[in-house]
Amino acid sequence: AQSVTQLGSHVSVSEGALVLLRCNYSSSVPPYLFWYVQYPNQGLQLLLKYTTGATLVKGINGFEAEFKKSETSFHLTKPSAHMSDAAEYFCAVREGDYKLSFGAGTTVTVRA
């Protein structure tokens, strides 16, 4: 079985500060890992993904994540938070051949 744990349901950062969102997963198959962002009253948009190859992946809006197999982690970072980064973020891992399993989500608040 696969599962995703996002540490911290709420994260508050100052504008310009580092954003760090933590994701740990368990998987019985080579993982495909994803981060999605959801702005208020919208659907989820893909931020970035890891499937194979380079373990440091870059996504949209200045976000990046690093796949660490030994730690079963896929943490999301952004060096400098912007007000527009306020949203809910979801980590996901593939579950078998057809499905993704999602974490509970982390809400990011950015303080001016």
Partner 1 sequence: NAGVTQTPKFRVLKTGQSMTLLCAQDMNHEYMYWYRQDPGMGLRLIHYSVGEGTTAKGEVPDGYNVSRLKKQNFLLGLESAAPSQTSVYFCASSSGLVYGYTFGSGTRLTVV
Q: Residues in the site for partner 1, rule: CB under 8 A?
A: 9, 32, 34, 36, 41-46, 49, 51, 90, 92, 94, 97-100, 102-105
For the bound state, the minimum distance from the C-beta of residue 16 to partner 1, rounded and expressed in Å, comes to 29
Residues contacting residue 21 through CB under 8 Å, at least 6 positions apart: 6, 8, 11, 35, 75, 76, 77, 89, 91, 106, 108
Between the alpha carbon of residue 90 and those of residues 53, 112, the distances in Å are: 22, 24
For the bound state, the minimum distance from the C-beta of residue 4 to partner 1, rounded and expressed in Å, comes to 8
For the bound state, the minimum distance from the C-beta of residue 6 to partner 1, rounded and expressed in Å, comes to 8
Per the structure block, which two tokens stand in for 66?
């690093």
Nearer to partner 1, 75 or 94 (CB): 94
Nearer to partner 1, 82 or 99 (CB): 99
Q: Which helix (H) or strand (E) holds 46?
A: strand 44-50
Nearer to partner 1, 51 or 61 (CB): 51
